[in-house]
Amino acid sequence: MPHTGDSSQAGAAGDRGRDRVQRAAYDLFSREGARAVGVDTVIAQAGVAKMTLYRNFRSKDDLIIDFLRRREELWTRQWLIAEVIGRAEDPARRLLAIFDVFSEWFARPDFEGCAFLTTMIEFTDRDHPAYRASVAHLANIREFIRALAAEAGIEDTDAFARQWHILMKGSIMAAHEGDTEAGHRARELGELLLRKHGV
């Protein structure tokens, strides 16, 4: 008679192993960069065998792609977008709320910056899957901005979203430099940009 309990336990153990690898990679890649962290470091932090990692991810590139996907879900959607939507109902105020959220983020001792920007800078080959994935995830953020711009009555939503995203990315890099007021400064520029677009 087959040991169905054993097989389910093996499956659960496999899921736990994958989860531990994902958590370790997320923590390490967020803080230290995806390229700088080796597979052995991820394995050591996860406390799993090397075979467990490669059973779930064919290569380090696959692990990086998975990390970026999780980063979009956890950072972009569950944190940034959720916070922005929860702080205001008016689309223009939601746009400005991005920088209020950023200001709080920049002040945190564990501020680690934007993983999409960091990964894109690390992998300079534009054909590398990590570079392409970073660009795609950044485009998804602009899509959120574009939707808010449309709700606010802005005509050229694509141009506006790119301008607004420049403010966002610039403030993140300024915060990396040590400018703790970067979020407030970007918000002031955002107010000017909204006025220019008639909002």
What is the distance between the alpha carbons of residues 147 and 114, in angstroms, rounded to a whole number? 21
pLDDT 10s digits, 163-186: 999 999 999 999 999 999 999 999
Give percent above pLDDT 70 in the chain: 93
pLDDT band at 199 (very low <50, low <70, confident <90, very high): confident
Rounded (10°) angle between helices 60-71 and 115-122:
150
Of the pLDDT bands very low, low, confident and very high (cuts 50, 70, 90), residue 19 is very high
Query: What average pLDDT score do residues 75-84 get?
Result: 96
The answer to whether residues 104 and 181 belong to one domain is yes
Q: What are the structure tokens assigned to 81, written together?
A: 């977008």
How many domains does the chain fold into? 2
Considering the domain architecture, whether residues 71 and 6 belong to the same structural domain is answered as no
Q: Model confidence over 28-57: pLDDT tens digits?
A: 999 999 999 999 999 999 999 999 999 999
Nearest 5°: phi and psi at 63?
A: -65, -40
Shared domain for 100 and 162, answered yes or no, is yes
Shared-domain flag, residues 90 and 22: no
- Whether the CB-CB separation of 118 and 33 falls below 8 Å is answered with yes
Q: How far is it, in rounded angstroms, from Cα 68 to Cα 16?
A: 20
pTM for the predicted model, two decimal places:
0.86
Averaged pLDDT, 134-147: 97
| Domain end among 57, 79, 104 | 57
66, 23 Cβ separation under 8 angstroms: no
State mean pLDDT over 12-30.
85
194 pLDDT more than 90: yes
Q: What is the pLDDT confidence band of residue 17, given thresholds at 50, 70 and 90?
A: confident
- Domain span at 20: 1-57
